[in-house]
Amino acid sequence: QSVLTQPPSVSAAPGQKVTISCSGSSSNIGKNYVSWYQQLPGTAPKLLIYDNNKRPSGIPDRFSGSKSGTSATLGITGLQTGDEADYYCGTWDSSLIAGVFGGGTKLTVL
Amino acid sequence: EVHLVESGGGLVQPGGSLRLSCVASGFTFSSYWMSWVRQAPGKGLEWVANIKQDGGEKYYVDSVKGRFTVSRDNAKNSLFLQMNSLRAEDTAVYYCVRLAARQALDYWGQGTLVTVSS
């Protein structure tokens, strides 16, 4: 049981838009910044979004992040088959004094 | 270019010990917090530990407290994870990760597999 809650899977057609939610609590998302990670099959995770909505250099602007209260959302527009991956949200939990992740969301581009 | 290369994984019996190492390059290692994150086969990511630049602060997930110890050698650009009293549920790929500000894990190694089994 992960501290942060994500849907197990989402799907959409190429070119479409998808959003992935991440729900937490006042001690984690409500108090700290959220990051998002993309894990392509058989590879290490990669930072996609940090500080709720910032993109590292090299990440296309098709990827966006937002946060409201104790929830965060990852948005991906112009879906490509190469976006098929597992996506994880993560943050710090100030009560647990620990890093926490969501359980991950598998994106399928139909 | 930032590189993180883990080593030390392998097969170990329950109750045994293993020491993971990670060599960093391409950045000033002593300026960054570092983390270990693990992923059990077919499962999601689990944060394991953080260590401050000078090693003076360390944080662990509850399930490894008292069994795992994170350390670093800034002179050798190296991060370590000493794992004792290993259990089957510690079986996972262990990633060495650079920790940027505000718990953003910005660079990941390729991972090293630890298998705890008799």
What is the per-residue pLDDT across B71-107, written as a single tens digit (0 to 9) for each? 999 999 999 999 999 999 999 999 999 999 888 999 9
Residue of chain B whose alpha carbon sits nearest to that of A89? B45
* pLDDT over 90 (residue B109): yes
pLDDT at A82: 96
**Which residues are paired to B69 by β-bridges?**
B82
> Pick from A32, A35, A102: which is nearest to B105 by CB?
A35
Q: In chain A, which residues touch B (CB < 8 A)? A: 2, 32-33, 35, 37, 39, 44-47, 50-51, 56, 86, 88, 90-92, 96-104
Instruction: For A19-66, give the DSSP string.
Output: EEEEE--TTTTTTS--EEEEE-TTS--EEEEBTTTB--TT--TTEEEE
Helix-then-strand count for chain B, H and E: 0, 11
- Partners of residue A45 in chain B, C-beta under 8 Å: 37, 45, 95, 105, 108
CB contact under 8 A, B45 and A90: yes
Measured distance CA(B66)–CA(B68) in Å, rounded: 6
**A46 contacts in chain B (CB < 8 Å):** 108
Average pLDDT, chain B: 97
- Tell me the three-class secondary structure of A67-105, residue by residue: EECCEEEEEECCCCHHHCEEEEEEEEECCCCEEEEECCE
- Whether A32 sits inside 8 A of B102 (CB atoms) is yes
Residues in chain B with CB shorter than 8 Å from the CB of A44 are: 95, 108-111
The pLDDT tens digits for B18-75 are 999 999 999 999 999 999 999 999 999 999 999 999 999 999 999 999 999 999 999 9
Q: Nearest by CB to A88, which of B45, B100, B102?
A: B45
Question: How far B107 CA lies from chain A's nearest CA (Å)?
Answer: 7
| Gap from A46 CA to chain B (nearest CA, Å) | 7
Mean pLDDT, rounded, for A40-46: 97
Tokens coding A71: 């929830």
Model confidence pLDDT, tens digit, residues A80-109: 999 999 999 999 999 999 999 999 999 999
| A101, A105, A106, best to mutate vs chain B, most B CBs in 10 Å | A101
